[in-house]
Structure formats: C-alpha cells, structure tokens
Amino acid sequence: MKVSVIRVLVIVVGLSFPVSSVLDGCKRSVMHSDKSADHEDSYIEMRYARGFDIEDHSKYKLIHVYNPWQNLKGKSITYLLYSGESALPESVKYDVAIPVPVSRVICTSTTHIAMIGALEERGSIIGVSGKQYINDPLIRSGIKNGDVQDIGYEQSMNYEMILTIKPDVIFMYGVTGDVTPIISRLISLGIPVVLNAEYLESDPLARTEWIKFMSCFYNKLDKGIEFFGQQEEAYLQLKNIISTVPNRPSVLAGLPWKNTWWVPGGRSHAAVLIRDAGGRYIWENDSSKEALALDIEAVYNQAGQADFWINSGSAASLTELLNTDPRLQLFKPYRDSSVYNNNARLNLSGGNDYWESGVIYPFLVLKDLISIFHPEILQEHTLVYYKKME
C-alpha cells in the first residue's frame, strides 16, 4: 500500500504548514542542494524553464520549485519522489515526500490536464476544479459519468469530497500568497499538495517544458523529455523560417476593462510569441513580464496605427469589441478588420482550449500567429486557436 510521507514543515512566506498526520516535530526552512561537482551530473537539463529543476538519482528524484506564485522571492519547495516500495533516503533534505508513480490525482488547472494527457495518464485524474472550463473530451466524459469529480475552487473547495476520493496528490497553482491557507488545510488533512507554476514562465517553450516536471510523478521522465523535444523542434523550425523576413508588422494586444488597458509587458508570454512569429510588439522595449496599466488614450497614442490586434479578451465579434468602448473604432486594426482573437476553441461553457492544449502545443500557437502576420509564408495553414473577428 502506498503511504504518502511528508516529514517536515513547508515554510512559505513566513507561514508554517503542518504537513503530515504524523509530524516529527521538526521545523526547518526549505532547502535544496547546490549544483556542486558532486551533484552536477544528476541534474536534468532545463533549456527554457526557470521555475523548477530536477535531480535524477538512481533510487529517487528531487524536484525543486522556485517562487511558485507572483511576487514571491527567494523561496523554494523541494519534493522527494521515491518508489513506494523503497525506504526514504536518509540525509536528503526535502519538504514533501511522495511515493511514485501516482495513480489518483486532482488537477486545479486545465494545463495540468493537458500535460497529463500528453503523458497518456488521463485515467489517473479523479478530480478537477471548474469542470465547465475543461476541453479534453475524455476528462469531460469522466465528469459526465461520475468518474471525475469537481472539487470546487479556492474558498469553496469541497474538502469532504477530496477526502472521499482519496487522491495521491493535488496539483495546485498559486496566483498570490492567498493560496497558502488552502494548502495548509489540505496538508493538515493528510493530502499531499504539489505546486505547479508553469504559468509564471514567459517563454512559451518554458511553459511546455513543465511536462518534464509532471512526468516525474508518473515515472515517465523519458517520455516527458521526448515530448518536449518534439515540441521544441517544431517551434524552432517555425521561428527560424520567420527570422529572416524583413517586414515586421506592428501588433497590439489585449482589451480595455473599465477604462484601464492591461497591456502585456515587453517580456511577457504574449510579447515573446509576437516576436517569435515575426511581429513587432508595440511595447517590445518594455522590460516587464507583468501587464502595464494604461488608459485608452495612452494606448491609442502608441498603438492606434498598429497593423494587427490580437488577444482581444472576451469579445467574440467586432460589434462586441466596440461595445466595450466606442473609441476602439478609432484604432486602425479595427477599421481594417485586422483583429484576431485566441478563442477559436471554446467549449459550450466558455472554456478556452488555448489555455489548455495550447500550452503543450506552442508551435501551433506560433503557426497561427505567423499565418496572421505573414500569410504569404504559411498560405495553406488553417487557424487552430485564433480566428479573425467579424
């Protein structure tokens, strides 16, 4: 029988989490091994991701996750993954010990579902948060027939249901430190929690590389590495094709909300995709990964004459776009009908597959954008995640 053993207290932002039904009374800060000469060979190469690394040892793995939510600095969590039939290794520093492979998991993000699906382990998913947002047909079928339960969100999380379905682990993410009380409650109930922070990566390939992280929980690291390599190769081939194109059309992104336009920063995920697709993002010289809060007038002054406008929020048509603010009709891409939104794959409840499978197939997202910015290069491509707004 698999028994989850969590031996220490996780110290995150000054908050101590009791992490096992049987505590050893030991309290220490999160620590991880340095990449010294003794450990260098055990580290799996991370080509783009900066939020985690993996030490692959013969009888166990150590996964270090760094700063797993926004504005967190200098914090890390170390997960020890070991065979359920083996004794825990001695003299190894870690925070959470989890026997692997896991067979019963809860996912609180659709990106977790996409990665697990790519690893061909959908059958392990027994719980989700927000069933209406999920696009994966097999998981939706499982929800319909009762094999997959919806555990709710954050403050409305159904702890009784979680205890009933008995997961080996819950894959969670945190936008802010507000997630810590929820994690604390779950851990006090004896439920192992693993934080996946792929959404904090700005590089599209870095987000995809988190499949290596997820693969370790299924003893499928080789498959995770192989899958990532295939996506990287396809993405870089497209990026190289477009790199020599001299014309770089200017691009605007986003949509105002209550007179504030949260423009993606110049080092954001959206900005990187625009650059890699051969576009010139209007704010490409900005050094921020976070969104910039601007008023509509300021955006118009800089981007009113942009060639293209992408990622226009919840608007499904040019009419809906104009309903947001009549001044948007002044923008050149609106007048030219050059507005494209990443909502071509919505389910009936509004769940957007761009934020699900798009994370593990970034080359398809890039291919869409190249087709939009440079239609002469990919003339036969049919848009997958994007559609032109009419």
- If one counts every other C-beta atom within 10 angstroms of the C-beta of residue 338, the result is 20
Please, what is the average pLDDT of the chain?
89
Residue 8 has pLDDT above 70, yes or no: no
User: Hey, what are 338's tokens?
Assistant: 């050059």
What tens digit of pLDDT does each residue of 264-301 get? Answer: 999 999 999 999 999 999 999 999 999 999 999 999 99
Helices within the chain (DSSP H only): 110-118, 137-145, 159-165, 180-188, 204-216, 221-243, 269-276, 296-303, 318-324, 332-335, 362-373
β-partners of residue 60 are 82
**pTM for the complete prediction?**
0.88
What tens digit of pLDDT does each residue of 62-102 get? Answer: 999 999 998 889 999 999 999 977 778 888 999 999 999 99
Q: What residues contact residue 159 under an 8 Å CB cut-off, 6+ apart?
A: 185, 186, 189
Pair 128, 263 in one domain: no
Pair 290, 206 in one domain: no
Does residue 81 lie in a domain region?
Answer: yes
Does residue 142 lie in a domain region?
Answer: yes
Domain extent for 66: 10-231
- Stretch 149-162: mean pLDDT: 92
Question: Residue 52 and residue 216: Cα distance in Å, rounded?
Answer: 12
Q: pLDDT class for 39, splitting at 50, 70, 90?
A: low
Domain count, the chain: 2
Pair 24, 59 in one domain: yes
Q: What is the CATH number of the domain that holds 293?
A: 3.40.50.1980
Residue 35 has pLDDT above 80, yes or no: no
Pairing of strands 193-195, 169-172: parallel
Q: According to the model, what pLDDT value does residue 314 have?
A: 87
Does residue 3 lie in a domain region?
Answer: no
Q: What are phi and psi of 310, to 5 degrees?
A: -125, 165
User: Hey, what are 61's tokens?
Assistant: 């793995």
